Amino acid sequence: MIAIIDYGMGNLGSVQKALAFLGYSSEITDDPKKVMDADGVVLPGVGAIGAAMEALTSKGLDKVVHEYIATGKPFLGICLGMQMLFDSSEESFGGEPVKGLSVLPGKVVRFPSDMGLKIPQIGWNSLSSRNEILPDGQYVYFVHSYYCVPEREEDIAATVEYGIEYCCSVKRENVFACQFHPEKSGEAGLRILDRWAKKTK
């Protein structure tokens, strides 16, 4: 069973429907025991990182994420779920930068405002892949105003061009995460989800 972490925000239903379409059993839950017992875990997310981190922490799920990753079982972060894995975000919450989970070293920054880019980035873009889970050149769907800057080059699984080249996916040991939404990315996204979910069997 794959656990989809429910902290009161995120695209939970669409992720579950995509996994079900692929033939994988999943459960949306905020129960720490169910998360720890799962064969794979998804941390989804849509919205502001400050509110998301506050919700995750208030349920004690921040500690559960660390404990689960330490088991070595497959873990997937999607969109905001990827951003929360880093040390901090410059997206303000209560006038202060937001502290992340520090699973991966690095920070989250806003797209530059002086390049004429439409912010948020909304739409399809093609991947430059460095990892076997991701199909190189495939188009996937993005909705975000901030992007991740990993400290370690070797953590970068894929990049994409949007005025600048930036990291849109990371992979380290059992942790895989993507800024784009595989559950909204058609056949290419389903293939990515399937390649990850196969590791839960």
Give the Cα separation of 69 and 74 in Å (integer): 8
Closest by CA position to 86, among listed 170, 190, 192: 170
Q: Point out the catalytic residue in the list 79, 148, 168, 178.
A: 79
Identify any residues that bridge with 149 across adjacent strands, giving them in sequence order.
107
Q: Point out the catalytic residue in the list 54, 148, 181, 187.
A: 181
**Catalytic residue check, 79:** yes
* Number of domains, the chain: 1
pLDDT score at 95: 67
**Catalytic residue check, 154:** no
pLDDT score at 93: 66
Residue 33: give its domain's CATH number. Answer: 3.40.50.880
- Give the predicted TM-score (pTM) of the model: 0.95
pLDDT score at 5: 97
Closest by CA position to 159, among listed 151, 150, 168: 168
Residue 83: alpha-carbon gap to chain centroid: 6
Residue 135: both structure tokens together:
């199909």
Tens digit of each residue's pLDDT, the chain (201 residues): 999 999 988 779 999 999 999 999 999 999 999 999 999 999 998 888 999 999 999 999 999 999 999 999 999 999 999 999 999 999 876 667 899 999 999 999 999 988 889 999 999 999 999 988 888 899 999 999 999 999 999 999 999 999 999 999 999 999 999 999 999 999 999 999 999 999 998
Range of the domain at 59: 2-200
pLDDT score at 94: 66
Alpha carbon separation from 16 to 59, 87, 102, 177, 197 (Å, rounded): 21, 28, 26, 17, 12
The answer to whether 144 touches 179, Cβ cutoff 8 Å, is: yes
pLDDT score at 164: 95
Q: Point out the catalytic residue in the list 96, 144, 183, 187.
A: 183
